[in-house]
Amino acid sequence: MECALSLGSCQGESLKLLESAIDALGNLPKTSVAAKASFYETEAVDVPERYKDLVFINTAVIVETALSPDELSEAVHELEYKLGRIRTGERHAPRTIDIDIITYGDITSSREDLTLPHPEAANRRFVIEPIAEIRPKLVLPGQSKTAFEILQSLPCTPKVKRISNNPN
């Protein structure tokens, strides 16, 4: 199954953490990384006021996996933990790594522990821009526009700036 994942970091050595996360995703059982987006520096979005000045680094990957949605979600959470993520319960708090499953094929889910596609993906430039780079024709389940078309409709702020070229 082809899945789009969004990755972000705002603590520690963000680029190295993101690269480590991408490598680890490719080493998951029955999983390979099919495409990697460039890295993007992004302004903080929806964070508490005290974190507004943090700089986030974001990217996206497309993975091919035979893991179930629940198995992939569990593996992603375990990977985040191994890379130093501490879940404090505070929403949008700083983190070493954040990996969100944006799509899992055409599957939709509205469970509390797994919502597919990610409910805010189409509203967040820092999610859509990297995905549009590597899968511009991807249509998120429940949407009628492609990732590229969604990107074109989003405001330019908060700012998202490419800081590296696509490593593919």
Q: Which of 53, 95, 125, 162 is catalytic?
A: 95
Q: Which of 85, 124, 125, 135 is catalytic?
A: 85
Q: Taking the CA atoms of 73, 79, 67 and 149 in sequence, report the sign of the dihedral they define.
A: positive
**106 annotated active-site:** no
**113 annotated active-site:** no
3 state SS for 101-142: EEEECCCCEEECCEEECCCCHHHCHHHHHHHHHHCCCCCCCC
Q: Which of 50, 53, 87, 100 is catalytic?
A: 100
**98 annotated active-site:** yes
**95 annotated active-site:** yes
Residues designated as active site: 85, 95, 98, 100
